[in-house]
Amino acid sequence: MPVRVPTLPVPALHRLTLGNGLRVVLAPDSTAPVVAVAVYYDVGMRSEPQGRTGFAHLFEHVMFQGSAHLPKLEHARQVQGSGGVFNGSTHLDYTNYFEVLPAGALERALFCEADRMAAPLLTQETIDNQIDVVKEEIRVNVLNRPYGAFPWLQLPEVLFDTFANTHNGYGDFVDLESATAQDAASFFDSYYAPGNAVLAVGGDFDVGQATTWVQRYFGQVPARDTPTRPAFGEPALTQDRRADVVDPLATTPALAIGWRVPDPVDDLAAFLPYVVLSELMSDGDASRLEQRLIHRDQLAIHQSMYLGLFGDPFDARDATAMIFQAHHGSQVNAEQLLGAIDQELQALATDGVTEQELGRVRARIAAQLLRHADPVLGRTQSFAAGELIHGRAEFATELPGRLAEVDAGSVAMAAADLAAAHRAVLELKPGAAA
Amino acid sequence: MSAQSADETIALTLPPLIQARPAQAPRAVSTTLPNGLDTVVVRRPTVPMVEVRLRIPLPAANSRSAAATTARGSLMSSSMLFGTAARSQQELANDLAAIGADLSVSVDADRILFSTAVLRTGLAALLDLLADVVTSACYPSAEVAAERDRLGQRIAMALTQPGVVARMARARRLFGDHPYAQTLPDPAVVAGLDASILRRTHRDRVRPSGATLVVVGDVQPATVGRQATAAFADWVGPSRRSRVLALPDFDPMGITLVDRPGAVQSNLRLGGAAVGRSHPDYAALQLANLVFGGYFSSRLTENLRERNGFTYSPNSGIDNAIAGSTFLINADVASEVTARAVHETWYELGRMALYPVTEDELDSARRYSLGTLALSTATQAGLASTLSGLAGQGLTASWLTDFQKAVAGVTVADVQQASRRYLSVSALATVIVGDATVVKESLASLGPILAPVRNET
C-alpha cells in the first residue's frame, strides 16, 4: 500500500504592493543561511510582435548587460562575488531573473535587481553582442544537434493557429539580426514596468529589514503604465491535424502528439486531473505508458507525456497543451504508437483507476513537490510564479493538497476527454544516414 | 559609477556585504555494517524527505577488459530493475512508486550509483527494496535482450550529438587505452551481451565491501543504522580488491580535428592533467579555474562571449575521477571563428600563467567558491551527492571544512603557480569537432593538425 504522505508546514507569507505597483512576496525561513531573490516580469514569448520573434529571450540576455549603476558584466560579478549564483529564463508567459546568495548579500542583490528594473543599459553595441551569443545558443540547442528543441519549437505550429502561439520563440535569425536599441527601449517601456512584475524573496532574513530595503531600492523605480495582456486562448481543434518534419541530423524517428487541455488558471479544477493523468500515464517505471510502450510492446526507446511545452504544468496560462513524445526505432511506425496510446487512454476511461494505483501516483507527485521545495530557490520561484500566473503566492503551498484531492473519477474523465479530442500529430523523420 | 539622475531621493551606492552566520557543517554519522557496507547518515529535516545514494565500485581491471566492463556496466545498470527473486519488474516499480521513489541506476568508469529520494515514511521500505535488488536482481532473458537493443539505439542516437562526439574524442586523446577513454559503450560489444553475462557480472561486482550508502534527510541516524543493518544483512560476498589503473601520460602537442561535415558550430575541447581534492594545490587550482573560466564572471566568458560573441556558454572545470583529476575547457563556437576562439583561449591560458591575477579577481573567486559550496550542501539532494562523491575517493564530510580553510588561505602567488602547473597551454591537448572544410586551414596556422579522424558515426 502507498505510505502516508507527509506534508510541509505552510510558511508565513508577507506581501506588500509598492506605490509603483510592484507586487512583493516575502517568505522568511531560517533553515539555512541563504536567500533567494526572484523577479518575474509578465511578458514572455507569446507577447512578441510579428517580425520580432525571439525578442523576449534576446531582451532577457540584454538585461544582464548593465544598468544605471552597474556597468556591463557587473551584475554577474556582484552576485557571484558575493558567493551567489544567478540566471534568467524566458517562458511563454513570463521572463524571470533570480539569484541565490549567502544571507548577508540580500541587500546587494535587491539593489542589483532594482537597478535594472529602473534603467537597464540598452545600447546597440551590447545588443549586437548578445544577438551573436543568442545565435550560438540556438546553434547549440537546435541547429547543430539532432532533435534540437523537438517538439517545443515545431509542435505548436501544428497544434495552434495564432502567431502568438505558433511562432518560433527562440527567434528567426533574420528577426534577431534586425533588433535595435530602439526596439529594446520600447519593449522595456511596454512590458518591464514595476506594476507588471512580481518580486519574491525567500530564505534567511528579517521581514522588517527586507521590507525597508525593498522600499528603498525598488520604491524608487518610477511607476509606468502596465500593458493590457491579450488573451492567448484558442478554440478547440475541429479535426485531427498531422504534419512531418525532416531532421537532417537525426538517424531515428520521433513522434510528438499535442492535445488542447482546459485553461490552467480560470478552470483550474478541470485542469488538475490532467496533471494527475500525465503522471499516471507516463511518470516513472510503474506508469502505464512506460509499461506498455517500453516493457510490454517494446515500441519506443523513450517516452514521456507532460503538460506545458516546457514540462511545467503551472508556468503557462491558456492556451496550453498535453504533450506526448517518443523516440522510436525505424521498424516502428507512428500508427502503432498512436494506436497503443489510444488503447491506454480508452482503458483508463472505461475501467478507471484503482485507489491503489492512484495512491502510488499521489505519493510520487507529493515527493516531487517536496523535493522541489527543499532548495530555497525552488520555493521562492514557486511563490513568484504563483503570484504572477495565479494571482496568489499561496498557490504553491496549496497545490499538494489540491492535487491529492483529485479523485479516480475525474482522472478517468480526463482520459476519456483526451481520447475523444482532436489532436495534433507531428512525426520527425530522420534525414541522416544511420 | 555613472552619473546619478537628478530625481533620485537617495544616493544609490552598492550596499555592503554582511557577514552571514556560517552554514552548519553537516554532522555525519559513519558506520560500517557487519557485511562491510559503509554508511554515512546526516539528519537534515528541511523537508519530510530522504535522499539515498548507494555507490558500488566498478572499475575495469585493465585496459583489455575496459570495453567489456563499460558495456556490461551500462546494460546491467539499465536492466537491474527488471525484477528480483521476489518481485517482477512491475511489482518492483509499483513498490517504489508507493513510497514516492524514482530509483535511478547510473554507471561510469568508476562506479555504479543508485540514486533516489523517498518520502520520510518510506525509508525502511526503500532500504528493503534496494537490498532486494542488490542481492537478487534476476535479469530476465527476454527483457534483457530487448533492453540490449534499446541501449544499442540509444548509443547510436548519442553518437549523432556533437557534444558526445567531442567528449569521446577528447577522452581518447587524453586517456589512450585507459578505461577512462570509454565514454560510451561500444555497440558491437553491447550486441554480444546476454542475461547470463549480466548475472555473472552482478555476482562478481555488486558486493557490499567497498560500497557506500549515504542517507540524508528527515531521519534519525540511529534508526537508519538499525534499518540498514536489517535490510542489508543478506548482502554478503568476499571483498574484491578494486585496483585503479593509473592515468597514462599523453602528448599535448598538436590539434585533434574530428570532421563533422556541414556542422554550423565547432565544439572546442581542451584537457590536461590536474590534481584532486587531497592535493595541497587543489584549492589554488580551483580558484585559478574560476578566474579563468569556471564561472560567468571569468576571463574566458568575458573574452569569448561578452567581448567577441563567439559562443553561448564557455566554461572550464576540474573533473575528479578516482584514477586522477583532469582540467577541462569547453566552448561551442561559430564555425567561422573556430581558430580565433582557440587562439583567444590559449591567450587567456597564457595570461593566467604569466601574470598575477588581481586581488579583486581572487576575492571574488574565493567568495564564490565558499558561497556555492554552502549553497550546494544546503539541500538534502546536494549534500547527499556531495558526500557520496567524497566517499568514492575515500574522503569524508570533514574534507568540506578542510577545503574551506584551504580556500581562505590561497594567495595570488598560489593561483599563478597552480596556473603554470595545470592551466598551461603546453600541458593541455586541444580537440575540435567541426566542419574541416571550414575550420582546418585557419586551425593549421595555430599548430599541427594531427592525422585527420573521421567522425565515427
User: pLDDT value at position A3?
Assistant: 82
B343 lies in the same domain as B272: yes
Cα–Cα distance, B100 to B117 (Å, whole number): 8
Contact B119 A327 (CB under 8 A): no
Q: Which of B14, B150, B264 sits opposite A108 (nearest CB)?
A: B14
Domain end residue (candidates: A161, A186, A218): A218
Q: Which of chain A's residues have a Cβ under 8 Å away from the Cβ of B20?
A: 33, 102-105, 204
Residue A227 lies in a domain: no
Q: Is B93 exposed, middle or buried (0-12, 13-18, 19+ CB in 10 A)?
A: buried
Residue A172's domain is classified under what CATH number?
Answer: 3.30.830.10
With a cut of 60, say whether residue B6 has pLDDT above it: no
DSSP letters of B157-184? HHTTSHHHHHHHHHHHHHHTTSGGG-SS
- How many structural domains compose chain A? 2
**Same domain, yes or no: B225 and B344:** no
Alpha-carbon span B65 to B59, nearest angstrom: 10
Mean pLDDT computed over A306-329: 96
* Predicted-complex ipTM score: 0.96
Here the CATH number for the domain that contains residue B389 is 3.30.830.10
Q: For residue B98, give the nearest of A69, A78, A359 by CB distance.
A: A359
Rounded to 10°, the helix B359-376/B412-422 angle is 80
Do B217 and B259 sit in the same domain of this protein?
no
- Asked if residue A308 and residue A209 are part of one domain, the reply reads no
Task: Report pLDDT digits (tens) over B136-178.
Answer: 999 999 999 999 999 999 999 999 999 999 999 999 999 999 9
Residues B224 and B259 in one domain: no
**What is the SS3 assignment for B55-88?**
EEECCCCCCCCHHHHHHHHHHHHHHCCCEECCCE
On whether both B392 and B431 belong to a single domain, the answer is: yes
Task: Give me the sheet containing A302-307, strands edge to edge.
Answer: A241-247, A424-430, A254-260, A321-327, A302-307
Under the banding of pLDDT at 50, 70 and 90, the label for residue A31 is confident
Same domain for A98 and A202, yes or no, is yes
Q: A125 and A208 in one domain?
A: yes
Residue B135 to residue B189: CA distance in whole angstroms = 26
Residues B358 and B390 in one domain: yes
Q: What is the pLDDT of residue A434?
A: 66
In a shared domain, residues B226 and B272: no
- What are phi and psi for residue B34, nearest 5 degrees? -55, -30
* Number of structural domains in chain B: 2
> What percentage of chain B carries pLDDT values higher than 90?
90
The predicted-structure confidence for A139-154, as pLDDT tens digits, reads as follows 999 999 999 999 999 9
Report the DSSP beta bridge partners of residue B66.
none
What number of other Cβ atoms are within 10 A of residue B420's Cβ? Answer: 15
What digits encode the pLDDT tens for the residues A260-293? 999 999 999 999 999 999 999 999 999 999 999 9
Question: Cβ of A77 under 8 Å from any chain B Cβ?
Answer: yes
pLDDT digits (tens, 9 = 90+) for B395-406: 999 999 999 999
In a domain, B16, yes or no: no
Shared domain check, A276 and A182: no
Domain identity same for B260 and B212: no
Tens-place pLDDT, residues B96-133: 999 999 999 999 999 999 999 999 999 999 999 999 99
Neighbouring-strand partners of residue B88 = B83
pLDDT, chain A, mean: 96
* Kind and range of the H or E run holding A429: strand A424-430
User: Among the three residues B198, B231, B264, which one is the final residue of a domain in this structure?
Assistant: B231
Task: With respect to residue A236, please indicate whether it lies within any of the assigned structural domains.
Answer: no
A131 and A257 assigned to the same domain: no
State whether residue A299 is helix, strand or coil. coil
- B270 shares its domain with B163: no
* Nearest one of A133, A147, A119 to A176, comparing CA atoms: A133
Domain assignment of residue B3, yes or no: no
Residues A188 and A254 in one domain: no
Among B231, B263, B295, residue at a domain's last position: B231
Q: Which residues pair with B54 in a beta bridge?
A: B114, B213
Domain assignment present for B101: yes
Q: Is residue A223 part of a domain?
A: no
Give CA separation, A86 vs A37, A121, A233, in Å: 9, 19, 32
Q: B221 and B274 share a domain?
A: no
Find the CB nearest A3 among B49, B119, B381. Answer: B119
pLDDT tens digit string along B67-77?
A: 999 999 999 99
Residue A225 domain-assigned? no
The nearest CA of chain B is from the CA of A69 a distance in Å of 6
Residue with cell 527488471: B82
Interface probe for B, chosen from A371, A376, A377, A382 (most Cβ of B below 10 Å), is A371
Structural domain including A385 reads 241-430
Q: Are residues A195 and A254 in the same domain?
A: no
Domain that includes residue B371, residue range: 255-454
Residue where the block lists cell 572546442 = B268
Q: For chain B, give the mean pLDDT.
A: 94
Q: Are residues B149 and B259 in the same domain?
A: no
Task: Please indicate, yes or no, whether residues A288 and A193 belong to a single structural domain of this protein.
Answer: no
pLDDT band per the 50, 70, 90 thresholds, residue B227: very high
Burial A205-242 (b: 16+ CB within 10 A, else e): beeeebbebbebbbbbbeebeeeeeeebebeebeeeee
Q: Mark whether A63 and A198 lie in a shared domain.
A: yes
Judge whether residue A125 has pLDDT over 80.
yes
Residues of A in contact with B367 (CB under 8 A): 80-83
Instruction: Note the pLDDT tens digit of each residue in A420-434.
Output: 999 999 999 999 876
User: What b-and-e string marks burial along A150-161, b requiring 16 or more CB atoms within 10 Å of the CB?
Assistant: bbbbbbbbbbbe
Q: What is the pLDDT of residues B398-454, one digit of tens each?
A: 999 999 999 999 999 999 999 999 999 999 999 999 999 999 999 999 999 997 555
Among A140, A176, A282, A372, the strongest candidate for a mutation testing the B interface, having the largest count of B CBs within 10 A, is A140
Verify that B283 and B156 share a domain, yes or no.
no
Residue A224 lies in a domain: no
**CA quadruple B322, B323, B327, B329: dihedral sign:** negative
The answer as to whether B243 is a domain residue is: no
